[in-house]
Amino acid sequence: MSSLLRADLHCHSTISDGTLTPEQVAERAHGRGVQLWALTDHDEVGGQHRAAARAAALGMDYLTGVEISVTFADTTVHIVGLGIDPDDARLVAGLAATRGGRDERGREMAEQLAAVGIRGAYEGAMRYAGNPQLLSRTHFARYLVESGACRDTGEVFRKYLIEGKPGFVPHRWARLGEAVRWISEAGGTAVIAHPARYRFSANEEYALFSEFKAHGGKAVEVVTGSHTSAEYLVYAALAREFGLAASTGSDFHSPAESHADLGSLPPLPADLTPVWCLLQQRIRRAPAAA
Ligand code: AMP
Ligand code: MN
Ligand code: MN
Ligand code: MN
């Protein structure tokens, strides 16, 4: 399978902080020409069977997925797992532990927002949470737009909910080694998500890539909705340097909010090994059209 395959291996549904159901994301991906799709909700695999079933009905190849929140060097880093068994007990338990504490964090975020005059944020955010166990900053961002505090979610993530601004509550997520192990034990491949987003120093970034590899991580997102085209080149070079395969995905959350729509990104650089070459046995092939 070549790097020209139209793959979208990173996106979200109402099971985490997306606004479309798993079935609606499947329909949209298929309608936009995606040939190999993975739904990667944050810290949750509850949408996997629904996503796989709709992909099969549409005739689209599917890889199971998840995006795990990790704390590395005091920073939140996301690790995508592809081709996981969503029923693996160790993975399911690890994700449940990672989700724990989101509600408490949300209440503290709302207290901080109330202190700057924004009331009702916990209840308001919860109304946007399709999955009450996965209350996310994205849901708060939608409430801040609804309440008129900000014009759009971009403004929210400049004025609120980030380090140093009201509504930011630091949180300890999973450890890097744990996340990679849960993914590997569940038969999947671990992928560093959108590395340009972390704003690490060169030393910290080197440490992330080295430790990820030492733990058994195999791939890195090169082409993603969270990278500029200049950043595609930076992370293509790091993939080569570390001998990692390359992944791609829009990180689509909502028709109204996302930088990149499903299936809209350019192909991976041709000399890199696409992550799906490592996952041939894990792809759920759509039944051939009648
Ligand atoms: P959480 O896991 O609750 O900390 O929320 C993280 C989510 O917030 C990410 O998955 C994104 O969906 C969203 N997010 C974070 N930063 C930004 C940003 N600058 N612009 C838009 N959405 C963001
Ligand atoms: Mn998100
Ligand atoms: Mn992410
Ligand atoms: Mn994501």
Confidence class for position 24, pLDDT limits 50, 70, 90: very high
- What pLDDT is stored for residue 289 in this prediction? 61
Is residue 181 within 8 A of residue 165, CB to CB? The reply is: no
Claim to verify: residue 15 and residue 121 sit in the same structural domain = no
Kindly state whether residue 218 falls inside one of the protein's structural domains.
yes
Claim to verify: residue 35 and residue 128 sit in the same structural domain = no
Q: Which of 257, 267, 262, 201 is nearest to 229 (CA)?
A: 267
Is residue 99 within 8 A of residue 158, CB to CB? The reply is: no
Claim to verify: residue 85 and residue 191 sit in the same structural domain = yes
- Going by alpha carbons, the residue nearest to atom 11 of ligand 1 is 138
Claim to verify: residue 123 and residue 262 sit in the same structural domain = no
Of the candidates 159, 182, 201, which is a domain's last residue?
Answer: 159
Quote the ligand 2 centre to 138 CA distance (angstroms).
Answer: 6
Quote the ligand 2 centre to 12 CA distance (angstroms).
Answer: 7
Average of per-residue pLDDT across 27-39: 98
Say which CATH number the domain at 126 has.
1.10.150.650
- The C-alpha atoms of residue 139 and residue 156 are separated, in whole angstroms, by 11
Claim: this prediction has a pTM higher than 0.85: yes
Say which CATH number the domain at 50 has.
3.20.20.140
- Ligand nearest to the CA of residue 193, numbered in listed order: 3
Claim to verify: residue 251 and residue 188 sit in the same structural domain = yes
User: Which helix (H) or strand (E) covers residue 76, if one does?
Assistant: strand 75-82
* pLDDT tens-digit map of 201-215: 999 999 999 999 999
Residue 132 in this model has a pLDDT that exceeds 80? yes
Claim to verify: residue 118 and residue 256 sit in the same structural domain = no
Kindly state whether residue 78 falls inside one of the protein's structural domains.
yes
Claim to verify: residue 263 and residue 178 sit in the same structural domain = yes
Kindly state whether residue 177 falls inside one of the protein's structural domains.
yes
- What pLDDT is stored for residue 1 in this prediction? 67
Average of per-residue pLDDT across 174-196: 98
Interior angle at CA 211, CA 210 and CA 215, nearest 5: 120
Please give the number of the atom of ligand 1 that sits closest to the Cα of 251: 12
- What pLDDT is stored for residue 287 in this prediction? 83
Please give the number of the atom of ligand 1 that sits closest to the Cα of 171: 4
Claim to verify: residue 79 and residue 92 sit in the same structural domain = yes
Is residue 132 within 8 A of residue 140, CB to CB? The reply is: no
Quote the ligand 3 centre to 194 CA distance (angstroms).
Answer: 7
Is residue 248 within 8 A of residue 9, CB to CB? The reply is: yes
Claim to verify: residue 77 and residue 193 sit in the same structural domain = yes
* pLDDT tens-digit map of 111-131: 999 999 999 999 999 999 999
Kindly state whether residue 113 falls inside one of the protein's structural domains.
yes
- Going by alpha carbons, the residue nearest to atom 13 of ligand 1 is 138
Quote the ligand 3 centre to 157 CA distance (angstroms).
Answer: 14
Task: Please choose from 16, 77, 133, 136 the residue to mutate so as to test ligand 1's pocket, defined by most ligand atoms within 8 A of CB.
Answer: 136
Q: Which residues line ligand 1 (CB under 6 A)?
A: 17, 42, 69, 136-138, 153-154, 157, 253
Confidence class for position 2, pLDDT limits 50, 70, 90: confident
Residue 105 in this model has a pLDDT that exceeds 70? yes
* pLDDT tens-digit map of 142-178: 999 999 999 999 999 999 999 999 999 999 999 999 9
Q: Report the mean per-residue pLDDT for the chain.
A: 97
- Going by alpha carbons, the residue nearest to atom 14 of ligand 1 is 138
Claim to verify: residue 69 and residue 177 sit in the same structural domain = yes
Task: Please choose from 137, 145, 251 the residue to mutate so as to test ligand 1's pocket, defined by most ligand atoms within 8 A of CB.
Answer: 137
Claim to verify: residue 117 and residue 33 sit in the same structural domain = no
Average of per-residue pLDDT across 223-234: 98
Claim to verify: residue 178 and residue 126 sit in the same structural domain = no
Residue 279 in this model has a pLDDT that exceeds 60? yes
Residue 239 in this model has a pLDDT that exceeds 80? yes
> Containing domain of residue 188, as a range?
7-98+172-278
Average of per-residue pLDDT across 250-262: 93
Of the candidates 116, 135, 159, which is a domain's last residue?
Answer: 159
Count up the domains in the chain and report the number.
2
